[in-house]
Chain A
Amino acid sequence: MQKTSANALIPTSHLLGSGTATCSGCGALADIRLFYEILGEKTIFVNAAGCMTLLTVYPFTPFRGSWIYTAMASAPAGAQGVRDALDLLLAKGRLGKEEDLQVVVLTGDGSAYGMGLSSTSGAMERGLDFIYICYDNEGYGNTGHQFSAATPHGASTATSRGMTGFPGYKKDLFSIWAAHNPTYLATVSGADPLDMVRKIKKAKDLRGPRMFIALAPCPTGWHFDASQTVKIGKLAVQTGIWPLKEYVNGKVEHTRIVTKKRPVDEYLKMQGRFSHLFEPRRNEKVLDEIQTRVNDYWKNVEEGE
């Protein structure tokens, strides 16, 4: 068997151009970069309103393939129109097979967890052949990071600045999407590129709805130094806060079981959005609750698998 190093598995062709308008240290851009390496330029990205809208600003684009910006609520519906039109053109011989495109929806969590749920549900229910990337930076990022339905409990955001932070709990989008029984569904993190690459490659060759929720650490919204994006992404997995998992054939499987999980404190402490839980004094109640919820989650996983 040929030996392959980890680095060799991660493509580094830099297919996505540089010089985009994203913030430095943007976790979402790192995620998209890796997706693009594997999905390639025979793609059309159907974008919803969000941070990544500004990837393509007239007359420049970092994409070698196609792109269309729709609106916040309806990128999956846009994907439906493109896919159906391509299929019609292929069937009628007006488009050669080599001209076909992989249709990729790109939205943030604001769209995916909220306004876009209806159109996403519709696309999955119709078995639309597409890939959906949700870059989850856990807030309405490009408007200044107000809380969204993806914001974790206790996080301080532009609209939850009180001493207890965001009172709600991160919506379980994975389960909501899984209930639609899509062809493929996975959580990924750009800080775990091997796991991510394997999942994207797997999804690439399947047909039907292939859904991704990608953790996107956000220096400007989560308040950490841009150099720490990867470290925070790793800690999200190592603490058990961001489970890496996939859903295939009606079954959820965790692709990375961390046997010795780090305490959630380590992850939370690095981010200004949680600093009120540590300063001026530790908020034991909220920190305990966050740790307990993570513990309970993994206890369920262990009992279930």
Chain B
Amino acid sequence: MRQLLTGNGAAAWGMRLAGAEYVPAFPITPQTEIIETISGWISSGELDARMVTMDSEHSMLTAAGTAAATGVRVFTATSSQGLLYAMEMLYTVAGWRAPFVLVNVSRALSSPITLEPDHNDVLAARDSGFLQIHCSTCQEVVDSLLLAYRLGEDERVRLPVIVNLDGYYLSFTREPVILPGEDVVSRFLPPYDPEETQFRAKDPLSQGVAVLGGSHYSYFRYETHYASQNGLSVFAEIGREFGDLTGRFYSLLEEYRTDDAEIVFFMIGSFATKAKEAVNRLRDAGQKVGLLRPRLLRPFPEHAIAAALRGVKGVAVVDQNISFGKGGILFAELASALYHIKERPLALVSFIGGLGGRDISNAEFYEMARVTAEAAQSGKIPPPRLLYTKEELARIQGLKAIASAGLHKEQ
């Protein structure tokens, strides 16, 4: 079945196809369409699930975790401030090893408060224990929901999974989407088997118990780390299996025109589709440019990335986030993955752009490719560049003048 769906609609369909039974919810822009859609289906009788609107995202994540720990398939969704408000529980429920799926519709963080996207929200959850799948198209959103449940529920993993899509650019963009049929879903995603992770009168269980001392603590933290790392091979396996069933194969990385590429853009999320357009134009102009986009950010597919970048001269890392006082988060992740590789790219150049939904233009992609090629050739690596044009600077200075005009009058 092929239809036009927004990213949010695709997320709701993914939940529906996956047969999630329980949806603790709390509305936040730009996630709301997801829970509105699910609520609509439930009230019309199209969907047999239970949705409960909680008092906050913190409560929502708590209920999601305890319901998963009781043995049902759980879906929930949030964005931005909501994800941060729930952050204590993200870290907490991951340790319960009860899998479920959380869709995050990326939106930049306060302050200043805004509605449009970047990735500082989801990257704040980077070390929580949740696995992270990042989507760049609406099709990928639907498919990633199914992959996420299969991945998280795998006995080698048993961790909750975040499926991330960018607010506005993907959440509200309609694209043609092929919805996997029930036959495909039933073959790919068996009903949730909670194994021993459930509460029943005859098998009492204590969850989330305290430990005394660093040794016990370390043991459980290491276990979670290993489980997360297992996610790499499991994802590769199920991504192939999904491809066999649907023709849409999902590997750890999307490699776009990288075969003979000398310069590669490295980025996540929907802005990667902008980079693809730039790659096509640069290729038309005879430049050997490609794009590398990790689908999984946790676990981080560093070996696959290193292999994909073998022979590449320069990498332009485009971070849609900013770690104040350090720079781009992906840049640091990539650098650490490549440090011990002998044939690593000569130049890693850091660019920060697309914050709060700011566009990244074709011209900027060309410039990033140029700067990176130059760095690879000269061996001189420029400092991280924060994308901003002279026109933007002039505009904000104009606005500042307007904002302070009254003040000057009074003086």
Contacts and interface: CB of A to CB of B under 8 A. Distances in A.
A118 B207 contact: no
B285 interface: no
A71 B66 contact: no
Q: Is the interface of B mostly helix, strand, loop or mixed?
A: mixed
Contacts of A80: 24, 52, 54, 59, 63, 66
B84 to A, nearest CB: 14
B75 interface: no
A65 interface: yes
Interface stretch (A84-92, A220-228, A294-302): A84-92
B55 A64 contact: no
Contact of B65 (A44, A58, A78, A95): A78
Interface residues of A, number: 47
A99 interface: yes
B205 A66 contact: yes
Contact of B58 (A59, A65, A73, A82): A73
Given A41-B204, A88-B72, A100-B201, A57 B211 contact: yes
Interface in B132-170: none
Interface string B188-225: 00000000000111101111111110001000000000
B199 A44 contact: yes
B62 A85 contact: no
B69 interface: yes
A56 interface: yes
Interface residues of B, number: 41
A54 B206 contact: no
Contacts of A69: 207-210
A237 interface: no
Given A44-B199, A99-B201, A119-B55, A56 B206 contact: yes
A38 interface: no
Interface in B234-262: none
B204 A65 contact: yes
Contacts of A101: 199-201
A68 B69 contact: yes
Given A61-B209, A122-B59, A82 B216 contact: no
Contact of A58 (B52, B204, B210): B210
A67 B201 contact: no
Contact of B71 (A53, A68, A78, A89): A89
Interface of A: 41-42, 44, 46, 53-54, 56-59, 61, 63-71, 73-82, 84-89, 94-95, 98-101, 118-119, 121-122, 126
Interface of B: 21-22, 24, 50, 52, 54-56, 58-60, 62-72, 74, 88-89, 92, 96, 199-202, 204-212, 216
6 contacts: A44-B199, A84-B63, A85-B67, A85-B68, A89-B71, A101-B199
Given A67-B206, A118-B55, 8 more contacts: A53-B210, A57-B211, A70-B62, A70-B89, A81-B74, A89-B71, A95-B200, A118-B56
